[in-house]
Amino acid sequence: MSHPADESFAARVRHCARELAQNGLGALGDLFDLTAARTIRFASTLTRNPHDAEDAVQAAMVRVALHPKSLAKADHPWAYLLRIVRNEALKICQKKRPSLALSLFDEQGEEPELDLADSRQFVQKAVELLPPAQSEVIVLKIWEGLTFAEIAAVLGESPNTAASRYRYALQKLTLTLQPLVEETH
């Protein structure tokens, strides 16, 4: 179920896509300004690197600039843009083949003590530890408010696959985040 704010955001993306198609590249800046923070966050789940995520978003914007009417013609321009960003992020990952191993534990293997200020970072690291296929579904579902049908369109998978990845990711996050939950209670 999407939230009214998410529907409003999607409507604003649709408006920017129409402006871009009708008025040319002058409207590209508006689309970038509207979507940059969210698309970079999404690309970061795949690249695991903020600079690569920014590169992926920039490459996606170039693709949109080259074919501005494609975004406007899409049934769901926001999901379509996320798919373009995803494809660009995957291209970067294929070139670099990063083997980034983040750990939630210190060198002695003990769980870190957390205060509430650290909890956001702890959750972010937990999401980063998920397999990329699961972390991107979490970001799209929770932070972007997309439906499983929209997520499926972004990923090129079935809605059932998206839902399964989401379920598995939530199970893993529940186990990983248990120390944080126990500490805050």
DSSP 8-state secondary structure symbol assigned to residue 27:
G
Instruction: Identify the pLDDT of residue 32.
Output: 93
Nearest residue to 51 (alpha-carbon basis) of 113, 100, 2: 100
Task: Write down the pTM of the prediction.
Answer: 0.65
Instruction: Identify the pLDDT of residue 108.
Output: 34
Q: Is the pLDDT of residue 105 over 60?
A: no
Instruction: Identify the pLDDT of residue 30.
Output: 92
Q: How far is 154 from 60, CA to CA, in rounded Å? A: 14
Q: What are the structural domain ranges in the chain?
A: 1-100, 102-185
Whether the Cβ atoms of residue 104 and residue 112 lie closer than 8 Å to each other: yes
Q: Does 102-185 match 1-100 at the fold level? A: no
Whether the Cβ atoms of residue 28 and residue 20 lie closer than 8 Å to each other: yes
CATH 1.10.10.10 corresponds to the domain 102-185: yes
Instruction: Identify the pLDDT of residue 99.
Output: 41
pLDDT digits (tens, 9 = 90+) for 20-48: 999 887 788 899 999 999 999 999 988 88
Burial category of 30 from C-beta neighbours within 10 Å (exposed 0-12, middle 13-18, buried 19 and up): middle
| Of residues 106 and 130, more confidently modeled | 130
The number of C-alpha atoms within 13 Å of 63 and in the hemisphere containing its C-beta is: 18
CATH 3.40.50.300 corresponds to the domain 1-100: no
Q: Is the pLDDT of residue 110 over 80?
A: no
Nearest residue to 126 (alpha-carbon basis) of 115, 107, 111, 141: 111
Instruction: Identify the pLDDT of residue 83.
Output: 92
- The pLDDT-based confidence of 180 (bands split at 50, 70, 90) is low
Nearest residue to 20 (alpha-carbon basis) of 84, 88, 73, 58: 73
Q: Per mean pLDDT, which range of 52-66, 110-124, 168-182 is the poorest?
A: 110-124
Instruction: Identify the pLDDT of residue 112.
Output: 41
| Of residues 128 and 77, more confidently modeled | 77
Q: How far is 17 from 13, CA to CA, in rounded Å? A: 6
Instruction: Identify the pLDDT of residue 5.
Output: 58
Question: Coil, strand, or helix at residue 76?
Answer: coil
